[in-house]
Structure 1
Amino acid sequence: MMKASLLALLAAVLCVDLGYSLRCYVCNEEPSNLNCLASKECASHEKYCMTTYVSGGLRNEKDFRITKKCAADCSKSDVNLGVSSISTNCCDTWLCNISGASSVKTSFVVMAFGVLASFLCVLRVGL
């Protein structure tokens, strides 16, 4: 009898919709992830927390912007052009978008590789 009661309780708990909405960190074009610590309860149709990290510029003139929000649809993307890059990350658990989209930070490596390749090309043509 005790096992049947526990089984019924477990089934009831698993079938009950708790009604909790997703909660995400939100900010709009902030220069630092430290400015993105406010959170918001998402609408019922918004199933993802989205973080977009944008960087652009050269050397000391490099500019970074982070946007975090609730989203109904989301697909991860990484576009890196060397001098500018955009990365979008998505997650679907409560307050999961606490960190910035870090994959864009490789743009320095891509840019250095492009400069080195150009330099080697110029040297080769000059010979």
Structure 2
Amino acid sequence: MKASFAILLAACLSVEQALGLVCWYCDGADNNWGCWRWQFCSNSDNYCATTYIGAGIGGYSSQSISKGCVPICPQGGINVGLAAASVSCCSSFLCNISGATSVRINHAVLAIGILGSLLYFLFGPRL
């Protein structure tokens, strides 16, 4: 009994995982609704990544979202007011469903900074 249990345990531990990481996939979609395909990642891919690039001026704005499997995570973001870029990563089953949240958070920080500058400009040292 103990020998068969040990053989079964050794067999289970030596079997490679049947299903690896699965990520949402799209390439240059206009929004998240264009990213409803799955991608089965290779053994060298460790993360699901979402890349967001957006720009806008006046009434014109454009954005591009790409999602998929990546071996390393170049996570980060930049927001310069007229344009923003962000890469976010995660490492569980279909975890990259949402857009790059750091860009949305940066918009709020940018709006608070502009409001503070406007208040200082209007009221100056009287504050």
Structure 1 residue identity aligned to 2:26: C
CA apart distance, 1:37: 0.8
Structure 1 residue identity aligned to 2:21: L
Cα RMSD after superposing both structures: 2.7
Structure 2 residue identity aligned to 1:47: N
Q: Which residue is equivalent to 1:66? A: 65
Question: In 1, Cα distance between the equivalents of 2:39 and 2:64?
Answer: 20
Question: In 1, Cα distance between the equivalents of 2:74 and 2:5?
Answer: 41
Q: Sequence identity, in percent? A: 38
- Counterparts in 2 of 1:86-101, with a 5 A limit? 86-101=85-100
Q: Which residue is equivalent to 2:36? A: 37
- Give the TM-score, by structure 2 length: 0.75
- Give the TM-score, by structure 1 length: 0.75
Q: Which runs of 5+ in 2 are unaligned?
A: none
Q: Which runs of 5+ in 1 are unaligned?
A: none
Question: In 2, Cα distance between the equivalents of 1:82 and 1:28?
Answer: 24
CA apart distance, 1:7: 4.5
- Counterparts in 2 of 1:8-87, with a 5 A limit? 8-58=7-57, 61-87=60-86
Deviation sequence 1:65-97 (CA, Å, 0-9, x none):
211122122132132323332221112333332
Question: In 2, Cα distance between the equivalents of 1:39 and 1:109?
Answer: 31
Question: In 2, Cα distance between the equivalents of 1:6 and 1:101?
Answer: 47
Structure 2 residue identity aligned to 1:100: G
Question: In 1, Cα distance between the equivalents of 2:105 and 2:60?
Answer: 17
Question: In 1, Cα distance between the equivalents of 2:78 and 2:3?
Answer: 55
Question: In 1, Cα distance between the equivalents of 2:21 and 2:101?
Answer: 23
Contact 1:83 1:111 (C-alpha < 8 Å) held by counterparts: no
Superposition misfits of 4+ residues, deviation over 4 angstroms: none
Question: In 1, Cα distance between the equivalents of 2:17 and 2:117?
Answer: 58
